[in-house]
A and B are shown apart, each in its own frame.
Chain A
Amino acid sequence: MQTDGLIFLEKLKRHRISDWLNNPPISKGLQKVGTRINCVARRWKYVKEYAVSVEGLSHSYGKLRAVNDISFNVEKGQIFSFLGPNGAGKTTTINLLITLLPIQIGKVTIAGFDVTKEQNNVRRSIGVVFQDQRLDRDLTVWETLDFHGRIYSLSKNTRRPRIDELIELVELTDKRNEFAKNLSGGMKRRLEIARGLLTRPQILFLDEPTIGLDTQTRRRIWSYIKKVNKEGVTIFLTTHYMDEADQNSDAICIIDKGKIIANGSSENLKNSLGQDRINLQTDNDEKAVQLIKDVPGINQILRSSEGLIIHLKENAYLTPKIIDVLRTQGVEIISVNLMKPTLDDVFVHFTGKGLGEASQEGMGQNLGQQER
């Protein structure tokens, strides 16, 4: 019995020695240094590159291809709006980016980390606010945040001051010990945003952050989002409200039927339509049309109850010229209005339908997708 024990001990020692020989502590130290350098290098690369980078991403549910070979980049520090009718593949794309769905085809890099290979680093770098409410009804505001901090392994000393800070940021200080189920819709949303920010993410994903909220609350939520963005957090959001996307985002990407159909700043997208319009009211529309129809740069002239609507071919600055022509020929001008295309026009132009129609049409499809 005793000899058996001795042999065993001997074996154990030998095993340890061989282990040590194969893998000396020095090399382990070097490995650590290597990993560290790697990390720093990657950080540096991230600083130079994108917060989100998507290349050739596709995703299918069975035979249905929800996302079809899309590529785009989000620069660090931007507010990036991801727009599209319901069922266009927005939610699928977000779910792929936040590691909720496995990547089938393509390459996604978040904060410099590969989503397939470095899932946990990606998860540590992002905050997520989902489209529909995801709060535990039976926990208080404070507990909701504390629980979230704990599942991200934030120590008590780290998470407690942050929770206080965030509760103040989203103005829920007096609701600190209120159960989530007793909060109003706007408060719940604010709590969710605070939760998304608790882990100090580099990128915050907001899926329809203001859906179903009144104008005042929407404005307040946007002021938080902007405040957070100013502190350096990249914002990736989807929204149905074109005006919000137009006013607040640095970059916009429109997706339809699983494909990216437009990408750029709001200004660029609107300019790319090249369809400035002039609304003209005169005392003699008939004569006016005859006079200006041959002016180069005019695409089309329509007559409406509000006078003439002149579609220009590109951003030709034709207003003075038109006024000149009409005046010299004795046509009295009552009013002139220059109309720039809105983001709504951009959306309609690229998707072939307004958001309203699109949502109705896409409804069934979208429901199916959420089920999945």
Chain B
Amino acid sequence: MENGFVAIYWRDMVKFFRSKALLFSALIQPVLWLVLYGISMSSNISLFFPQGSNPPGVVSVNYMTFMAAGVVGMTILFTCLYAGQNVQFDKQYGLMKMIVVSPMPRSQILVGVTLGGITKALIQTTIVIAFGYVFGVHFFNGLTIVGALTAMAGVLMFAVTFSLGLMFLSTAIAMRVRDHNVSQAIITLLTLPLFFASNALYPLDSMPTAIRIASDLNPLTHFINGMRYFGIGPDFYSFGVRYSTSLEELFISLGFLVGFNIIMFLVAVRAFETTKEF
């Protein structure tokens, strides 16, 4: 006996690693963000934050390190939201019919596709962190090897938790929406506010209240909180702004992501149950 989700996952991975273009763009895109946006922002950061010097004696990090966490979050966001589209393609090419007339429970499709998305997200997270060192990103600064590995485990735990909910969401959209153009449009529409109404690229303290509230309800913000907590530290300065995250706040962020996952899981289950035509 073999579980069907393994087959779905296997196929996803085979196609991902086989398609050089897919693999290359998945790996190069986050690095390009880091290089193009990171370096140009870093060079101008003193213009935007003229008083942005950090007080002496505190942990301070450069803008590259600060925004690298945001780039990781963005990469996971994009990758996972688009990974669910595999389901849409299966529907479009009629493969989904083949799968749904098999005795395999439909939940296995969700599990397989979700695992595929998470794997891609984790590979990309690792790539961004690794490449980051070349461009002046200093994650896990001053940690021993054991400490760095533990912190990396923390980062990956947050990455998994974050991508899980996103995968449920994107798979649900792909399953429920019949037209692939509509499904793409919905996802594109989602990514933009999710990315910009968050703490990915800039501090939120001086933002209008509405955006601050939106950002607090944004799972990306909570992932980045966790990412920065483990990658940089609980208390640091960057271009004159202090970022401190207490253990309680860390758990609130984790709790938020778990809650997000539960809701998205229910949405996905509902989408799978109510879809009758493929």
A interface vs B, CB < 8 Å? 98-102, 120, 123-124, 126, 128, 130, 132-139, 143, 147-148, 150-156, 372
B44 contacts chain A at the CB level, 8 A cutoff = no
Known: A101-B276, A138-B18. A124 touches B103 (CB 8 A): yes
Residues of B within 8 Å of A100, CB to CB, are 97, 100-101, 278
Whole-angstrom distance between the Cβ of B87 and the nearest chain A Cβ: 13
Could you pull out 28 A-B pairs where Cβ atoms are within 8 angstroms? A100-B97, A100-B100, A100-B101, A100-B278, A101-B277, A120-B103, A130-B98, A134-B94, A134-B98, A136-B93, A138-B19, A139-B14, A143-B11, A143-B14, A147-B10, A148-B98, A148-B102, A150-B4, A151-B4, A151-B7, A151-B99, A152-B103, A152-B104, A153-B1, A153-B2, A153-B3, A153-B104, A372-B277
Q: Are B1 and A138 in contact (CB under 8 A)?
A: no
B95 CB within 8 Å of chain A: yes
Write out the residue numbers on chain A whose beta carbons fall within 8 Å of the beta carbon of B95.
134-136
A346 to chain B, nearest CB (A): 31
B15 at the interface (CB under 8 A from A): yes
Kindly list the 7 A-B residue pairs having the minimum CB-CB distance in the complex, ordered from nearest.
Answer: A150-B7, A134-B94, A123-B103, A120-B103, A151-B4, A151-B104, A151-B102
CB distance from B163 to the nearest CB of A (A): 23
Main SS of chain A's interface residues? loop
Q: Enumerate chain A residues within 8 angstroms of B101, measured Cβ to Cβ.
A: 98-100, 123, 126, 128
Give the residue name and chain of the A residue nearest to B18 (CB): A138
Nearest CB to that of A122 among chain B residues?
Answer: B103
A134 proximity list for chain B (CB < 8 A): 93-95, 97-98
Are A155 and B7 in contact, with the CB atoms below 8 A?
Answer: no
> How many whole Å from B16's CB to the nearest CB in chain A?
10
Chain A positions within 8 Å of B100 at CB level: 100
Binary contact track B1-45/A, C-beta < 8 Å → 1, others 0: 111101110110011001100000000000000000000000000
Q: Contact check, A138 vs B15: say whether CB atoms are below 8 A apart.
A: yes
CB distance from A176 to the nearest CB of B (A): 16
Give the distance in Å from the alpha carbon of A372 to the alpha carbon of B178 in the complex: 10
User: Chain A's nearest CB lies how many Å from the CB of B117?
Assistant: 18
Q: What is the CA–CA distance of A61 and B6 in the complex, to the nearest angstrom?
A: 35
Check A150/B276 contact, CB under 8 A, given A130-B94, A136-B95, A137-B93.
no
Min CB distance B173 to A, Å, is 20
Please give, as numbers and ranges, the residues of chain A lying within 8 Å of B276 by CB-CB distance.
101-102
Complex contact A123–B278 (CB within 8 A): no
Q: How distant is the Cα of A94 from the Cα of B93 in the complex, in angstroms?
A: 19
| CA of A152 to CA of B101, assembled, Å | 10
- What is the CA–CA distance of A340 and B6 in the complex, to the nearest angstrom? 57
Contact residues in A for B8 (Cβ distance below 8 Å): 151
Docked-complex contact B103 and A153, CB < 8 angstroms: yes
Do B11 and A147 touch (CB < 8 A)? yes
A101 to B232 alpha-carbon distance, docked (Å): 53
Nearest CB of B to A201, in Å: 11
A148 / chain B contacts, CB cutoff of 8 Å: 98, 102
A130 touches B18 (CB 8 A): no
B7 proximity list for chain A (CB < 8 A): 147, 150-151
The residues of B that contact A139 with a CB separation of less than 8 Å are 11, 14-15
B93 to chain A: which residues have CB within 8 Å?
134-137
CB contacts under 8 Å to A, within B72-108, are 93-95, 97-104
Chain B residues near A372 (CB, 8 Å)?
Answer: 277
- CB-defined contacts of A136 to chain B, threshold 8 Å: 11, 93, 95
Residue of B nearest to A100 (CB): B101
Sample of 5 further A-B pairs with CB below 8 A, known A128-B98, A154-B2: A98-B101, A100-B97, A143-B11, A147-B7, A148-B102
Q: Contact at B94–A132, with CB atoms within 8 Å?
A: yes
The interface residues of chain A lying within 8 Å CB-to-CB of B102 are: 123, 148, 151-152
Bound form: Cα–Cα A126–B7 in Å: 20
Q: Please indicate the chain A residues that have their CB under 8 angstroms from the CB of B2 in the complex.
A: 150, 153-156
Whole-angstrom CA separation of A102 from B1 in the bound complex? 28
Contacts of B155-206 to chain A: CB distance below 8 A? none
CB-nearest residue of chain B to A205: B101
Closest chain A residue, CB of each to CB of B278 = A100
The answer to whether A150 and B6 touch (CB under 8 A), given A100-B101, A134-B97, is yes
CB <8 Å contact, B94 and A133: yes
Q: Which residue of chain B has the shortest Cβ distance to A137 in the bound complex? A: B93
Question: What CA separation (Å) do A99 and B14 show in the bound complex?
Answer: 29
A143 CB to nearest chain B CB (Å)? 7
Given A134-B93, A155-B2: A150 in contact with B10 (beta carbons within 8 A)? yes
Distance A154 CA – B2 CA, assembled complex (angstroms)? 7
Q: Closest residue of chain A to B112, judged by CB?
A: A151
